[in-house]
Chain A
Amino acid sequence: MIHKLDPNSKIIYIFVANIAPALIGARMATASFILISIVILTIGKVLHKTAPMLEFSGLILLTVAIIQGIFHQGNTTVAFALGSVVFYKEGLMFALGIALNVINILMSFSILVLTTKPSDMVETFVHMGLSPRLGYVMSSVFQIIPQMTKTMATITDAQRSRGMETEGKLKTRIKAFFPLISPVVMNSLISTKERAIALEVRGFGSKQKKTFLNDLQKTRYDDIFRFVLILILILSIFWRVLIWLK
């Protein structure tokens, strides 16, 4: 069901999920949006796919917690001590705020990214007014990267079979970088010329207005979803105004 939502609705969700907590200004708001995102991801059966992204940022967030916990400049209240290392409450709360923000961004984007095909996403952008030429550029990146990764594996094998060392001291590893990357780069740059000619021959540079292969499909759920989101946004603006008036 989540997969069938219009990518537009998911973009609105990202927008609301990141603006509303900033307007409300409470950590609870951020936390509840994370929870909502987790629920949506679970319904879409893609929650497990967020693990690599979380791992990637989790490591940074962990060091943020440690460094801010010990050294944050407003630190006064001791939270706990591990041996001679003292963690302070202010620093840890600061780190918690950062962690909530980052995880909220991660989760809300995951809904769009994990439940939409890249080609559909690009098509939505073109419908929204992105130039079709740039749309082509974006969708061709998704094709070119797997291609280049394949070439990269071939070249690594080829160089290794010639006796190049790719492990060991830092100096050896730096030396290995050049013979690995230059053939891939040369290859891909030279093939761009052929691609340019192939595209031109098929009328890519034509100034005619382009048409779409697929129409955007909006379901009934889209309307409900968007209505709720806009309601949340209006309520949070209202909340902000109330705080200001106090």
Chain B
Amino acid sequence: MKRTSMWSFNLNTASLVLIPAAVGINYIGKLFAGALKLPLWLDSIGTILAACLAGPIVGAICGAINNIIYGFTLDPVSFIYAVTSIGIGVAAGILAYKGRIKTAVGAILSGLVIALVATVISTPINIGMYGGQTGNLWGDALFTWCTASHFPMWLASGLDELVVDIPDKVASVLIAFGIYKALPKNLTVLYKNDQKIERLD
């Protein structure tokens, strides 16, 4: 069977209804992480899952809509961070399409790559908005230490973001991977657009 390109994208109804569900999963992840007082955000599980299911473009749309909704309800600053979420969705989609997220080890390595992408995009925003901080306790402690030892701002801020992003994204990809494997086949096949479907209309 011929595989179409990963960028081929038909926004069919199945992928469209996946987006609100993914945003909901992001929200629930963040809520549970908060309720259990975990030191991570875990607010991109849905984006990563949607990217694995339906490719980088749907992943990017999920990321963007996620942050737009957050901006409208909890924290307007998250509008600007939509760029980061888009990056996460695209990276996860590409990695999944290339077949990197098929084993637990692959999921961990993909988590590292996604964390790196997120850091590269977030750091300039952090510097512009908050003078380099992220608001996470551990990251900001490292930032303080770096600034006190006269590291350049971009390095201090980048490390601040990276130290939070690595455990967060690795955990998110692992969770998304676990869920993806447990999903019934007749559901996952709905979003796959890598195979030609013959239509009779």
Seen from chain A, the residues whose Cβ lies within 8 Å of a Cβ on chain B are 52-53, 56-57, 59-61, 63-64, 67-68, 71-73, 94-95, 98, 101-102, 105-106, 108-110, 112-113, 118, 121, 133-134, 136-138, 140-145, 147-149, 152, 156, 166, 170, 173-174, 176-178, 180-182, 184-186, 188-193, 195-196, 199-200, 204-205
Interface of B is mostly: helix
Q: Are A185 and B179 in contact (CB under 8 A)?
A: yes
Q: A106-B77, A138-B65 are in contact. Are A189 and B187 (CB under 8 A)?
A: yes
**Distance A41 CA – B48 CA, assembled complex (angstroms):** 37
Interface of A is mostly: helix
Residue with the highest number of chain B CB atoms closer than 10 Å, among A52, A102, A144, A190: A144
Q: Are B140 and A136 in contact (CB under 8 A)?
A: no
In the complex, whether B31 has a CB less than 8 A from a CB of chain A is yes
Q: A138-B65, A182-B182, A188-B21 are in contact. Are A145 and B27 (CB under 8 A)?
A: yes
Which among B82-90, B96-104, B112-120, B125-133 touches the partner chain?
B125-133
Q: Are A193 and B38 in contact (CB under 8 A)?
A: no
Q: A95-B131, A200-B13 are in contact. Are A144 and B32 (CB under 8 A)?
A: no
Query: Which residues of chain B are near A142, meaning CB under 8 Å?
Result: 69
In the complex, whether B57 has a CB less than 8 A from a CB of chain A is no
Question: Would you mind naming 28 contact pairs between A and B with Cβ atoms under 8 Å apart?
Answer: A53-B74, A64-B130, A64-B133, A67-B143, A67-B147, A71-B148, A73-B147, A98-B129, A102-B129, A106-B75, A109-B79, A137-B19, A141-B69, A143-B20, A145-B23, A148-B24, A149-B31, A166-B35, A177-B32, A178-B175, A181-B29, A182-B182, A185-B46, A188-B25, A192-B18, A192-B21, A196-B13, A205-B12
